Structure 1
Amino acid sequence: MTLAALVASFAWVAGWIRLPGASPALSAARLIDAFEGASGRHPGFRRNHAKGICVSGYFDSNGNGLALSRASVFERGRTPVVGRFSAPGGNPSEDDAFTTVRSFALRFTTSDGEQWRTGMNSAPVFAVRTPEAVYEQQEAMQRDHRTGRADPARLDAFFARHPETGALRNWLANHPPSSAFYDASYYSINAFRFTNARGDTRFVRWSVVPETPYAPSAARADVAHDPDFLAHGLRTRLQKHPARWQLMLTPADPGDPVDDATRAWPPERELHRVDAGTLVITRAQAQIDGACRDINFDPVVLPTGISPSDDPLLAARSAAYAESFARRTQEQARANVR
């Protein structure tokens, strides 16, 4: 399949393309416009996850992941990674105390030149199922010019139209945000199709589980005084020793939802998860000139042995990330010309 055909197939699955006479398509540009409307326009920054910090390190594979995927990243050995910690939202000046979710993006680059890019959140489910609902959510979060805040009535109406948001809201209500980037677990949220060397295929979600025990942000005394405590805390930690997580691969059973990121799999699936190795972060850099600055963490950039599921959010994320990347890099280029 040609690259153009592949992109077109993703666009069709995600609903970006409409037949003649159908309702207008939700394009990546319209979706990113909605993010800008909700958080304001901040030239040169990502339109979502605007505030972040670059990191680098490596993944030590123990070989166990080959049972599920023939991807070379799972062969026994070490793979370098470049990543980025962040929090959702388009405001790069957001106080860390106001964030409820942590995010962790990674790019693995294997010795054969393949890449695996992934963006994970500290909550195991997503708010909504479709790109159209993401757009509606951003519209509902538009700030009133008089108060500077979103209208609670609009948000309540959105939640009423989308009861699937209850899964994430309930999870957040029972899981206070972590005190640091390095003591949170992170989840792929979407499912992906894994194929091993025998041709066996399973749908998989993955997570990275921290070596450092989780602690809620309320346990840190500096939270109330430092709006950037997440990045500062990570730098302090890495000056002493690396941060580590175990990469866990959780296969689905028949009947588990593999195209709906709002629905968690049964807890017993974790009994059969595969420990694929250790992720180690050794260094942090400011995002303005760090190694992650020019990386688009497109979740459908995948190695042989891993492919996207039919989850409509995957194609939408890919297209929206590309639009955001194009806008911010053009803005950076214009700023450098000046």
Structure 2
Amino acid sequence: MFSDSENHRSDPLSGSTADSADKHDQLYVTEAEEAVDELERVSGVHPGYRRAHAGGFCCRASFLPSGKAAPFTTAPHLQDREIKAIVRFSGSSTDPALADLLSPAKGMAVQFALPDGGVTNMVGVTVPVFFARTPSSFMDMLTTLNRTKAGKMPKSEALIHFARHFGESRQSLLALKRLKPPVSYATNLYYCIHVYILVDAEGRRRPVKFEWIPDLGVHTLSIHDAAALPDDYLEKELELRMLSQPPSFKLNIVFGEEGDPTDDPTKRWPSDRARINAGRLVLLEPIAEPRGLLMDPTAVPEGIALSDDPILNFRRETYAESMKRRSGGH
């Protein structure tokens, strides 16, 4: 576990780093193993499944860029040619069998097939912020939850631990509390909660966030109505919807301004930030999840760089560790 002062930090506009990359890479690997251990303790090990967002539903999709992002980035999937994509919708639970209703936050991960044969990913969720600012606070909250559930920590002590992180988790908890069951995976707004850096042809760097806006609008159900539906109603609904009218999403790029945090996924940017419509994603047909599908949000192409967000940078090793375990049948 490393403290805030040991976090891997960089200037998001210059790309400079404050500490040795090798040192922090090893710290991230060690913490990734510990994080996946704790995720496995939440609902047990489910062989072959992801350690979070375990249950999922995949679609073949097509992304048509608008061209409006091209002046700000050389990223190939944001230029002017149609891009093939795979979209994976999911609940947030570590249990793949959990009913849709019982997993309030939903996820939408998009993998773009790049012209050079590589891939890049965007990972979105239905809450605009994360609940932990650093890997160490994430681990502290997850460990506290598991120890309390297992009867290894008194509730009074657990409350002290959670109170320590209330300032950073407050916005996420409030957003989660406001969530209602969606009518469809296609009627959610999905936030890519981390900051990225767009890099243009001249090397200029601009901090941004991404949002997927449903063309159908945001529509929800009452708890009572959702409870009457099958446990996997969202998958069944989307399958039927795609047979009649392929749903679609608009990709918004939100531009940060001076003073907007780039290293804190628990904080929102002001709502008046400039936005552009970078393109439209159309869901075409359901597919079986491809073997070895890895939606790593740190896999970015030329023209996009990672910000100094420690949670974002931590995800690379955590996703890799989860993939290693599920590929091994664990």
With normalisation by structure 1, the TM-score equals: 0.85
Matched, 1:41 2:45: yes
In structure 2, how many angstroms separate the alpha carbons of the residues matched to 1:267 and 1:121? 18
Structure 1 residue 161, shift from structure 2 partner: 1.1
Match of 1:56 among 46, 57, 60: 60
Match of 1:273 among 263, 272, 275: 275
**Residues 114 and 220 from structure 1, CA distance in 2 versus in 1: closer, same or farther, beyond 3 angstroms?**
farther
Match of 1:218 among 218, 222, 238: 222
Contact 1:14 1:313 in 2 (8 A): no
In structure 2, how many angstroms separate the alpha carbons of the residues matched to 1:73 and 1:220? 41
Alignment of 1:3-42 (within 5 A): 12-13=23-24, 16=27, 26-42=30-46
Matched, 1:144 2:149: yes
Match of 1:234 among 234, 238, 242: 238
Structure 1 residue 141, shift from structure 2 partner: 2.6
Of all paired residues, the percent bearing the same amino acid is 28
Structure 1 residue 166, shift from structure 2 partner: 0.4
Matched, 1:261 2:265: yes
Contact 2:242 2:284 in 1 (8 A): yes
Give the partner amino acid of 1:159: F
Alignment of 1:59-74 (within 5 A): 59-74=63-78
Instruction: Render the CA deviation track for 1:155-198: whole Å, top value 9, x for unaligned.
Output: 64343010211011112233424222110011110001111123
Structure 1 residue 277, shift from structure 2 partner: 0.8
Aligned to 2:169: 165
Give the partner amino acid of 2:297: P
Aligned to 1:285: 287
Alignment of 1:90-169 (within 5 A): 90-142=94-146, 144=149, 156-163=159-166, 164-169=168-173
In structure 2, how many angstroms separate the alpha carbons of the residues matched to 1:27 and 1:249? 31
Instruction: Render the CA deviation track for 1:85-106: whole Å, top value 9, x for unaligned.
Output: 1111210111111111110111
Bigger mean CA offset, 210-219 vs 195-204 = 210-219
In structure 2, how many angstroms separate the alpha carbons of the residues matched to 1:319 and 1:104? 20
**Residues 42 and 321 from structure 1, CA distance in 2 versus in 1: closer, same or farther, beyond 3 angstroms?**
same
Aligned to 1:207: 211
Aligned to 1:251: 255
**Residues 52 and 138 from structure 1, CA distance in 2 versus in 1: closer, same or farther, beyond 3 angstroms?**
same
**Residues 57 and 206 from structure 1, CA distance in 2 versus in 1: closer, same or farther, beyond 3 angstroms?**
same
Aligned to 1:86: 90
Instruction: Render the CA deviation track for 1:109-144: whole Å, top value 9, x for unaligned.
Output: 122334211211111100111111221222233273
Where in structure 2 are there 5+ consecutive unaligned residues? 1-16
Contact 1:117 1:298 in 2 (8 A): yes
What count of residue pairs does the alignment treat as equivalent?
A: 310
In structure 2, how many angstroms separate the alpha carbons of the residues matched to 1:315 and 1:216? 33
Matched, 1:77 2:81: yes
Aligned to 1:320: 318
In structure 1, how many angstroms separate the alpha carbons of the residues matched to 2:268 and 2:323? 30
Give the partner amino acid of 1:57: A
Secondary structure at the counterpart of residue 230 of structure 1: helix
Give the partner amino acid of 1:144: K
Aligned to 1:194: 198
Give the partner amino acid of 1:212: L
Bigger mean CA offset, 192-201 vs 316-325 = 192-201
Structure 1 residue 219, shift from structure 2 partner: 7.4
Root mean square deviation, CA, Å: 2.4
In structure 2, how many angstroms separate the alpha carbons of the residues matched to 1:10 and 1:234? 43
**Residues 10 and 240 from structure 1, CA distance in 2 versus in 1: closer, same or farther, beyond 3 angstroms?**
farther
Structure 1 residue 15, shift from structure 2 partner: 7.8
In structure 2, how many angstroms separate the alpha carbons of the residues matched to 1:267 and 1:15? 37
Structure 1 residue 285, shift from structure 2 partner: 2.8
Contact 1:14 1:315 in 2 (8 A): no
**Residues 99 and 217 from structure 1, CA distance in 2 versus in 1: closer, same or farther, beyond 3 angstroms?**
farther
**Residues 153 and 45 from structure 1, CA distance in 2 versus in 1: closer, same or farther, beyond 3 angstroms?**
farther
Structure 1 residue 10, shift from structure 2 partner: 6.1
Match of 2:302 among 293, 301, 304: 304
Give the partner amino acid of 2:139: Y
